[in-house]
């Protein structure tokens, strides 16, 4: 024990090799004493033209800084994500720099078309969106030939690809191509139809890949709609078909300019038709086996039926009278027109379709499913009706379709439920178009039932609906066929009930208003056609009664307030159509003429429609449809209430859009001409003399009084036939008219406008000069009244004259002098004034007395003006003595 203690003490006294330094937590360790400094200091080496960013300066780049060329190269990358990102980058560049597409469109399309057959679904979808949103819209105005040839080669390759999804996507690409370039279809029609035939025969994917099949069928419908299978056979009413059923893209192929051999297309369609029917049959078990058929299956069935319908239309069209469109058919088809349809459409093929009609599942339906089945049945019915014209049909089969048509038109419950009204009408429009020719083929009993069902549709559909528009066209076609076809006999006319629907036409016009111009035009066109044949097929009394309801269409009155109807706000062509209908009313009553007059004096009415109304009413009067008193009253109202603006007349004013004075001048000329034609001038003057004087006596604007004076001199002659009483009344009102003319057309110091002012004043005074020429007594009395104005004898003024004449006395005298100078300035009037020297001398004496009188207080300036006017008038009068 002692030994161990001694040894431990000895060890403690020995030295320490490494001293341990205690550090505080968080403190940075100092560098070691033997640490080596590894820091390297250098300067940056700048080499110009070596930066990648500077190489791309001024170029169009994507968000990732890649150019269009680099992105096009990346579309061939082995990685699918890189290819997709490259397509997205190309889209960004072309949207940001549209000029790049114009410069490199063919190069871009040539490179991108390689991705049509890409193995990756996302890459193909990215390419589709790029073509749809950027490239095809940007190339729509360019030459389509190179683009079609570039795309179609790779689309055809994709249509024969081993992978079924690539093949179906190829049809989607083709559908997109013909949306923008529809002409490419007929250039490749045979090959396209062959590919559709091949893909539809691969029926293994029908029930598994309905979404892609639906896209392919939608493209087929678009292609078939571009065939020359126009709807002209069924009349104008087929133009109301749903957009997916008619010529979808309004592509009008002129086969006379492009010699395209359609015999190959006929052969391909002949092979395609039974395949389409077979495909539809493959979907039929779903109707009976499933409680609820999915939307994609319905869409596939719908596109299949639409394709069958378009193929049938093509064959029916080719079998009709349209040989101009089918001049390049093979000789086998040219032997007989009907052979095209007969050889191409097998009765056995479509019998499979007839056996399925009507599609009616065994289970209860929801409203949506019921509407879908209704739509499918409508298409099958149309196919049947296309083939039924001129064909011998099985009575049982025809009965089945007629029952469906009747129940659909009358909106009866079909298969235990009623279709939604909006959806019902939408698809029923195309069926309604067949009614005119359908009633020619059925028995008398069925004709009555179909017409009654049609009238139910006509009465129940809303005024602004497309169904109402279609029904109006059908009624017009049945009652007034354009060709030599007699659709209806007298018993059928009773079913249509003339008095009911004819009376509804004017009410329908008011209900439609100005928000539905197409519907209004259809109603007016039918009304015009009915009016043109009223004496032949429609009782004239029923047509005449329409005017009592049509007043509200033009104008109504309520407590003295005028309310203009929709007529004023409709387009010009519809306004003219409604005016033309007026001629065929057997009798136009006074109230309707008042409504028309109110429309004519409205400044919002175009002058063209104003004169059209006047022309039609003049023609109606000549035909005996308007009484003479109402006819005269209409034109008198027009002259008296037509508001000419502006009231102040500026001869230098350009009247475009600022004044209707030129329009009123034309109205005055027309009224004077037409009223002078209604009978003997003496009798007409006797009828109108008092009316015209009453209108002139009222305080009216200068233009309106001018119109009546023009009418008076038109009916008068030389020497005047006016009575002494009329001359006395004219002498009382014409001086005021003269002063209004001078005041409304004031003198100006500008030499350039003096001639225009003098010319304009003469225009308004010239009719009065004709009256003076025909009656010297009237001229003498006018001068006497003028002299009384100068004397200022208020007792000589009538009460109605105190408006314009009760002005400042000196201003009135200056106005009188201006009128006298205008009269003296006319050469013919100078000769007439030679017999009125006494009256003129009295005027000068009155002016001299007034100017020198101290009883009248005038300023120095007023006396100076008075003296100058007196001197000018004296000088002008002195020239009369030399004549």
Distance, CA of 369 to CA of 708 (rounded, Å): 72
Among 27-41, 54-68, 262-276, which range has the highest average pLDDT? 262-276
Q: What pLDDT band is residue 802 in, cutting at 50, 70 and 90?
A: very low
- Three-state secondary structure call for residue 379: helix
Look at 304-308, 369-373, 515-519 and tell me which has the smallest mean pLDDT: 369-373
Dihedrals phi, psi of 691, to nearest 5 degrees = -65, -45
Q: What pLDDT band is residue 109 in, cutting at 50, 70 and 90?
A: confident
Under 8 Å between Cβ of 405 and 451: no
* pLDDT at residue 227, rounded to an integer: 81
Distance, CA of 74 to CA of 142 (rounded, Å): 27
778 burial level (CB within 10 Å; 0-12, 13-18, 19+): buried
* pLDDT at residue 355, rounded to an integer: 80
For residue 44, pLDDT over 70 is answered with yes
Distance, CA of 218 to CA of 234 (rounded, Å): 24
* Average pLDDT value over all residues in the chain: 77
For residue 330, pLDDT over 50 is answered with no
Residue 144, token pair as written in the block: 């389509």
Alpha helix stretches (DSSP H) within 181-233:
184-187, 189-201, 210-224
Cα within 13 Å of Cα(102), Cβ side = 5
Q: What is the DSSP string of 546-604?
A: THHHHHHHHEEEETTEEEE-GGGGS-HHHHHHHHHHHTT-S---HHHHHHHHHHHT-TT
* pLDDT at residue 670, rounded to an integer: 93
Crossing angle of the two packed helices 210-224 and 164-180, in degrees rounded to 10: 30
* pLDDT at residue 55, rounded to an integer: 58
Angle of CA points 421, 426, 430, to nearest 5°: 130
Q: Which residue from 880, 812, 878, 823 is spatially nearest to 846, judged by alpha carbons?
A: 812
Tell me how far apart the terminal alpha carbons of the chain are, to the nearest angstrom.
Answer: 179
For residue 21, pLDDT over 80 is answered with no
- Three-state secondary structure call for residue 235: coil
Q: Which residue from 546, 584, 552 is spatially nearest to 567, judged by alpha carbons?
A: 552
Angle of CA points 578, 580, 582, to nearest 5°: 80
Q: Which residue from 871, 758, 767, 759 is spatially nearest to 814, judged by alpha carbons?
A: 871
Q: What is the pTM of this model?
A: 0.70
Residue 694, token pair as written in the block: 């009453």
In b/e form, how buried is each residue of 384-398, taking b as 16+ CB within 10 angstroms? bbbbbeeeeeeeeeb
Among 165-179, 508-522, 523-537, 600-614, which range has the highest average pLDDT? 600-614
Distance, CA of 543 to CA of 42 (rounded, Å): 106
Percentage above 70 pLDDT, the chain:
76
Alpha helix stretches (DSSP H) within 676-750:
681-697, 702-715, 724-744
Distance, CA of 47 to CA of 582 (rounded, Å): 90
| H or E element, residue 60 | none
For residue 220, pLDDT over 90 is answered with no
For residue 418, pLDDT over 70 is answered with no
**Radius of gyration in angstroms for the set of CA atoms belonging to the chain, rounded to a whole number:** 46
Percentage above 90 pLDDT, the chain:
12
* pLDDT at residue 336, rounded to an integer: 43
For residue 225, pLDDT over 60 is answered with yes
* pLDDT at residue 347, rounded to an integer: 64
- pLDDT tens for 185-201 read 878 888 888 888 888 87
What residue segments make up the domains of the chain, in order of their start?
59-150, 497-626, 716-883
Under 8 Å between Cβ of 562 and 598: yes
Scanning the structure block, which residue is given the tokens 């056979």? 233
Among 82-91, 343-352, 610-619, 655-664, which range has the highest average pLDDT? 610-619
Among 226-240, 289-303, 727-741, which range has the highest average pLDDT? 727-741
């Amino acid at each position: 024990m002692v030994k161990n203690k001694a040894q431990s003490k000895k060890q403690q006294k020995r030295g320490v090799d490494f001293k341990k330094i205690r550090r505080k937590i968080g403190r940075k360790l100092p560098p070691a004493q033997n640490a080596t400094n590894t820091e390297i200091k250098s300067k940056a080496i700048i080499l110009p033209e070596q930066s990648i960013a500077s190489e791309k300066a001024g170029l169009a780049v994507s968000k990732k800084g890649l150019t269009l060329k680099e992105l096009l190269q990346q579309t061939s990358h082995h990685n699918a994500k890189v290819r997709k990102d490259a397509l997205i980058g190309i889209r960004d560049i072309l949207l940001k720099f549209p000029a790049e597409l114009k410069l490199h469109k063919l190069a871009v399309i040539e490179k991108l078309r390689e991705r049509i057959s890409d193995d990756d679904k996302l890459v193909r979808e990215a390419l589709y969106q790029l073509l749809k949103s950027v490239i095809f819209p940007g190339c729509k105005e360019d030459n389509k030939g190179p683009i079609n040839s570039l795309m179609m080669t790779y689309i055809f390759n994709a249509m024969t690809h081993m992978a079924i999804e690539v093949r179906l996507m190829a049809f989607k690409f083709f559908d997109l191509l013909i949306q923008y370039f529809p002409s490419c279809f007929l250039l490749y029609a045979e090959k396209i139809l062959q590919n559709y035939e091949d893909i539809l025969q691969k029926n293994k994917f029908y029930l598994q890949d309905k979404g892609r099949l639906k896209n392919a069928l939608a493209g087929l419908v678009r292609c078939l709609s571009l065939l020359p299978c126009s709807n002209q056979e069924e009349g104008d009413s087929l133009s109301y078909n749903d957009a997916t059923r008619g010529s979808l893209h309004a592509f009008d192929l002129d086969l006379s300019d492009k010699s395209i051999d359609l015999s190959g297309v006929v052969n391909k369609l002949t092979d395609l038709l039974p395949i389409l029917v077979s495909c539809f049959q493959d979907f039929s078990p779903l109707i009976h086996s499933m409680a609820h058929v999915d939307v994609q299956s319905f869409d596939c069935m719908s596109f299949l039926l639409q394709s069958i319908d378009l193929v049938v239309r093509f064959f029916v069209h080719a079998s009709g009278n349209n040989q101009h469109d089918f001049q390049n058919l093979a000789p086998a088809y040219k032997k007989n027109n009907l052979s095209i349809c007969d050889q191409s459409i097998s009765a056995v093929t479509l019998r499979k379709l007839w056996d399925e009609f009507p599609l009616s599942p065994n289970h209860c339906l929801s409203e949506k499913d019921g509407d879908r089945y209704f739509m499918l049945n409508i298409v099958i019915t149309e196919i049947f009706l296309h083939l039924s014209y001129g064909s011998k049909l099985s009575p049982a089969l025809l009965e089945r379709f007629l029952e469906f048509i009747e129940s659909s038109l009358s909106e009866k419950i079909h298969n235990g439920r009623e279709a939604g009204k909006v959806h019902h009408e939408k698809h029923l429009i195309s069926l309604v178009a067949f009614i005119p020719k359908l009633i020619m083929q059925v028995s008398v009993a069925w004709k009555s039932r179909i017409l009654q069902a049609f009238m139910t549709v006509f009465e129940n559909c809303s005024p602004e609906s497309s169904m109402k528009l279609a029904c109006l066209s059908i009624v017009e076609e049945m009652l007034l066929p354009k060709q030599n076809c007699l659709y209806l006999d007298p018993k059928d006319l009773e079913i249509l009930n003339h008095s009911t629907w004819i009376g509804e036409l004017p009410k329908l016009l008011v209900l439609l208003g100005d928000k539905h111009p197409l519907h209004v035009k259809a109603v007016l066109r039918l009304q015009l056609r009915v009016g043109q044949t009223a004496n032949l097929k429609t009782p004239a009394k029923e047509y005449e009664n329409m005017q009592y309801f049509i007043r509200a269409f033009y104008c109504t009155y309520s407590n003295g307030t005028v309310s203009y109807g929709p007529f004023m706000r409709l387009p010009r062509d519809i306004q003219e159509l409604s005016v033309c209908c007026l001629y065929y009313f057997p009798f136009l009553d006074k109230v309707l003429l008042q409504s028309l007059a109110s429309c004519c004096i409205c400044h919002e009415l175009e002058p063209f429609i104003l004169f059209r109304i006047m022309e039609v009413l003049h023609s109606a009067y000549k035909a005996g449809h308007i009484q003479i008193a109402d006819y005269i009253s209409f034109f008198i109202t027009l002259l008296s209430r037509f508001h000419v603006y502006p009231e102040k007349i500026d001869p230098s004013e350009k009247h475009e859009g600022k004044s209707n004075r030129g329009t009123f001048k034309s109205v005055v000329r027309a009224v004077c001409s037409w009223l002078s034609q209604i009978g003997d001038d003496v009798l007409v003057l006797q009828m109108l003399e008092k009316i015209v004087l009453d209108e002139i006596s009222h305080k009216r604007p200068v233009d309106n009084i001018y119109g009546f004076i023009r009418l008076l001199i038109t009916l008068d002659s030389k020497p005047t036939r006016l009575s002494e009483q009329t001359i006395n009344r004219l002498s009382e009102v014409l001086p005021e008219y003269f002063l209004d003319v001078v005041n409304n057309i004031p003198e100006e110091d500008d030499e350039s406008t003096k001639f225009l002012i003098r010319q304009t004043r003469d225009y308004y005074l010239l009719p009065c000069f004709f009256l003076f020429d025909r009656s010297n007594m009237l001229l003498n009395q006018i001068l006497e009244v003028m002299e009384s104005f100068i004397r200022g004898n208020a007792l000589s003024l009538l009460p109605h004259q105190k408006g314009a004449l009760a002005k400042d006395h000196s201003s009135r005298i200056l106005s009188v002098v201006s009128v006298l100078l205008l009269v003296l300035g006319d050469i013919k009037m100078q000769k007439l004034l030679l017999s009125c020297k006494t009256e003129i001398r009295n005027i000068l004496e009155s002016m001299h007395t007034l100017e020198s009188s101290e009883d009248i207080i005038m300023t120095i300036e007023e006396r100076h003006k008075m003296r100058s006017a007196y001197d000018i008038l004296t000088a002008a009068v002195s020239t009369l003595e030399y004549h």
